[in-house]
Amino acid sequence: MKIAIIGTGYVGLLTSTCFDDFGISVTCVNQDEQKINLFNSCGFPIYEPNLTPLIEKNVSTDSIGFTDNIKRAVIQSKAIFIAVGIPPNDDGSAIR
Q: For 52-91, write each residue's pLDDT tens digit.
A: 888 888 888 888 999 999 999 999 999 999 999 877 788 8
- The model carries a pTM of 0.83
CA proximity to 32, closest of 13, 14, 60, 57: 13
- Given CATH 3.40.50.720, say whether it is the number of domain 2-82: yes
Q: How far separated are the first and last CA of the chain, in Å rounded?
A: 32
> Which ranges of 1-96 does DSSP label H, i.e. alpha helix?
10-21, 33-40, 51-60, 70-75
State pLDDT tens for residues 12-66: 999 999 999 899 999 999 999 998 998 888 888 888 888 888 888 888 888 899 9
The full set of domain ranges for the chain reads: 2-82
| Strand (E) or helix (H) holding 87 | none
